[in-house]
Amino acid sequence: MTSSNAGMWRTATRVQPLMLAITLASGCAPPTEPPPPAGRERPAPFLDACLLDPTCNEVLVVAHRGEGVGEPENSIAALQAVSEAGADVVELDVRPTRDGVPIVLHDDTFTRTTDQETLFPDRPSASDLDLTEVKTLTLRDEGDRCAAADDDVARCRVPTFREALAAARDHAIIMIDYKGGDIVRIVQDIVDEDAAGFVYFFDANEQNLDLVESLAPAVHTMARADDASSAIDLMTRRTPALLHVDTGYVGELTAASAEHGTRLLANIFGQVDFGIIGEELTGDAQVRVDAEVALGVIVDDGADLVQTNRAPVVRAMLDAR
């Protein structure tokens, strides 16, 4: 599929009771692409603009939880800011409230990221609070901006999954890191938001991936490989468009990924992010140089997407190559 077909994904049908279906229609104009960062031709924020296009050689940056821009993790503000700073994909964690609404939250409790201990001291878990209660929580913010009376909802409130999808439209691809909850409800949110063209679903459990694909074939999934052997097995059995691998063996997958048309995502937290953080903390330029070298090796080995907590810096490193 070429980027000229990006608009087709926006015509997904609504979910019918007990059955989900997405149909693709022709004749739709492609969505407007946001302006690229200065000096860079940025792919359109739709899967078929690069991730599903085998001719696209762009290495895409995946912003882990929207980190690296000084906004609360997994917030709307982080999603928006990190995409403006050059991230192509934003990784978001999805789990349910007590009343079953998918929200964007990494931990299984609100303790680390919100003021839950003040408002609901005996109910720390995401499954302890209904959505109306979740919306009274305030996200922890580095600059204490959320302590002000005029709290910015995008910065200071836990978003629902649907709110995150609406904010990402025309700005970023969303990688769903499934933490729990009703998969049917999550897929229904994707379909109701006409988001199949800029969302993909990640989980290590293949049964969950199979369920997503059976409910809505147009929603792409990404499996997790533990080593080179399991990666090749997954590519052979599933012929996935996307596969999560580790940097230690990505170089062994060149032939298989080319044969099956699979794009490889690798976390660069240890090899690259630690070096960037080291320079930030110590001012030692050498650790930054080492991080740049490590990034180059990972990309040259064949990583098509790199997931990082320092998306703007990694984007600049890649652009300088």
CATH of the domain at 264: 3.20.20.190
Helix axes 183-192 and 206-215, enclosed angle (nearest 10): 40
Residue partners of 321: CB distance under 8 A and separation at least 6: 296, 299
* Any domain includes 165: no
pLDDT at 53: 86
One digit per residue, the tens of pLDDT, for the chain of length 321 reads 333 333 333 333 333 333 343 333 333 343 444 444 555 578 899 999 998 887 888 999 999 999 999 999 999 999 999 999 999 999 999 999 999 999 999 999 999 999 999 999 999 999 999 999 999 999 999 888 998 877 899 999 999 999 999 999 999 999 999 999 999 999 999 999 999 999 999 999 999 999 999 999 999 999 999 999 999 999 999 999 999 999 999 999 999 999 999 999 999 999 999 999 999 999 999 999 999 999 999 999 999 999 999 999 999 999 998
Q: Which domain holds residue 285?
A: 3-93+171-320
* Any domain includes 55: yes
> Contact 98/129 with Cβ under 8 angstroms?
yes
* Any domain includes 180: yes
> Contact 78/72 with Cβ under 8 angstroms?
yes
Q: How many domains does the chain have?
A: 1
Let me know the angle formed at the C-alpha of 97 by 94 and 99, rounded to the nearest 5 degrees: 135
> Contact 231/210 with Cβ under 8 angstroms?
no
Rounded to two decimals, the pTM is 0.87
pLDDT at 148: 80
* Any domain includes 145: no
pLDDT at 1: 39
* Any domain includes 109: no
* Any domain includes 114: no
d(CA 84, CA 86): 5
* Any domain includes 205: yes
pLDDT at 58: 92
Q: How many CA atoms lie within 13 A of 242 on its CB side?
A: 27
* Any domain includes 139: no
pLDDT at 201: 98
